[in-house]
A and B are shown apart, each in its own frame.
Chain A
Amino acid sequence: MLTLLHEQRETTLPNAHASGDALWLDRLDIETTTGWAWKPEGLCRNDICVPLPRNAAHPIVKHDKLDLAAMWRHMGQPVVHDASASTWVFGTGPEQRASALASLEAPDFELPDLDGNLHRLSDYRGKKVFLATWASW
């Protein structure tokens, strides 16, 4: 069973298969794991569509699956996996992070407190937020 980690999502994928640095996912799994939709015009989210690269030697589409790892790298975003290629992290690229920050709109996130209650940054909209990090180490 494959596990894919993206942002704060962790998804197990019974229908995906890995081969070397390729990770083949169907349409539904792509959307579930990353929020991106695989459409005829490319990989799309909100009003952005990134066309799939055309490379006859290394096709990125086979039957009903897309090599999402190749597509992700094509989009300038990090892809790493463990030695057995059973756990994959699809990171967010520096350009995507930089443009989110440049908007000055604080990127939203959801994290638990010690009791497991989830808090979203956006829950505090309407108040000022002094966000401060710390650690025990």
Chain B
Amino acid sequence: MWQALFESLQGQGIVVLAIAMDNAQGARPWIEAAKPSYPCLIDRDHHVADLFNLVNVPQAIWIDETGRIVRPPETAGSTDVLRMMDRTNGALPEPIMAERKRIKALYLDAVRDWAQKGAASEHVLAAGEAGKRLVAPDPAIAQAHAHFRLGQHLLRSGQTDQARAQFDEAIRLHPDSWNIWRQAAEKDSRGLAAGPEFWARVDALGDKAYYAPINMKGVRPPG
């Protein structure tokens, strides 16, 4: 997914670290097909989502040479187009496709700008602004991650029904997490959790975004 970006960043003191919110079985065919030359890590228990309060994929975090967060978790170049999609074939109207492409390019250009200029990049946030954009987990979210962790453990030991109960509790406590819902959902023959239940959840979002708009110069809020 990030191979072209990675290649354009060579020699600039930056690594792409891809984290699959997934088990190895789900992630393997994708990684083997893409043959990425950057590290692809498998986070079957969604530990990184727990640490950084992530809710969906793709989300990205920019971390500088000293280990400081210079852009907190945000949507990694995707746009909130699900509700404009033809649900039978995934097609999008042409203007929406063009806008989606524009924002993706703008986001990837920002990553390249940071790779080249480092702290001098306009996309690197001052500590105050980075702090303001961080979303801290609430008690229900912390509790949800504990239930999800237990559910994954039970699933691996074959205790499917008990695992389901843990996932249901995690979803109840943290309904905004698509990571938890989709990981725990029934998958179709393509391995996707994109059946009627998924679309019902998308419809139930109302005014909420599936992908929160990126807060970056040149990206208009959707709508």
Q: Which A residues fall within an 8 A CB radius of B?
A: 3, 5, 7-8, 10, 76-83, 87, 89-94, 97-98, 100-102, 104-107, 109, 111-114, 119, 121-122, 124-137
Contacts of A80 in B (CB 8 A): 143, 146-147, 150, 166
Q: CA separation between A30 and B12, bound complex, in Å?
A: 44
A94 near B142 (CB under 8 angstroms)?
Answer: yes
A128 near B64 (CB under 8 angstroms)?
Answer: yes
Interface residues of B in 110-145 (CB under 8 A from A): 111, 114-115, 118, 127, 130-131, 134, 136-139, 141-143, 145
Q: Is B206 positioned at the interface, with any CB of A under 8 Å from its CB?
A: no
With contacts A78-B146, A89-B146, A109-B48 known, is A136 near B27, CB below 8 A? yes
Q: How many A-B residue pairs lie within 8 Å, measured between CB atoms?
A: 218
- Nearest-neighbour CB distance to chain B for A3, whole angstroms, equals 8
Contacts of A7 in B (CB 8 A): 47
Contacts of B153 in A (CB 8 A): 3, 5, 10, 87, 89
Contacts of A109 in B (CB 8 A): 47-48, 51
A136 near B30 (CB under 8 angstroms)?
Answer: yes
Q: Is B95 positioned at the interface, with any CB of A under 8 Å from its CB?
A: no
- Nearest-neighbour CB distance to chain B for A32, whole angstroms, equals 18
With contacts A113-B40, A113-B42 known, is A125 near B65, CB below 8 A? yes
Contacts of B199 in A (CB 8 A): none
- Nearest-neighbour CB distance to chain A for B154, whole angstroms, equals 6
B191 near A93 (CB under 8 angstroms)?
Answer: no
Q: Chain B at the A interface: mostly helix, strand, loop or mixed?
A: mixed
With contacts A82-B162, A126-B65 known, is A114 near B31, CB below 8 A? yes
Q: Is B176 positioned at the interface, with any CB of A under 8 Å from its CB?
A: no
With contacts A105-B67, A128-B15, A134-B20 known, is A119 near B142, CB below 8 A? no
Residue of A nearest to B68 (CB): A104
Q: Chain A at the B interface: mostly helix, strand, loop or mixed?
A: mixed
Q: Is B105 positioned at the interface, with any CB of A under 8 Å from its CB?
A: no
Q: CA separation between A132 and B14, bound complex, in Å?
A: 13
Give the segment of B52-60, B81-89, B96-104, B209-217 that binds chain A: B52-60
A132 near B18 (CB under 8 angstroms)?
Answer: yes
Contacts of B67 in A (CB 8 A): 105-106, 121-122, 125
Q: CA separation between A124 and B49, bound complex, in Å?
A: 19
A93 near B111 (CB under 8 angstroms)?
Answer: no
B134 near A133 (CB under 8 angstroms)?
Answer: no
Residue of A nearest to B185 (CB): A137
A128 near B63 (CB under 8 angstroms)?
Answer: yes
- Nearest-neighbour CB distance to chain B for A74, whole angstroms, equals 14
B22 near A97 (CB under 8 angstroms)?
Answer: no
A133 near B59 (CB under 8 angstroms)?
Answer: yes
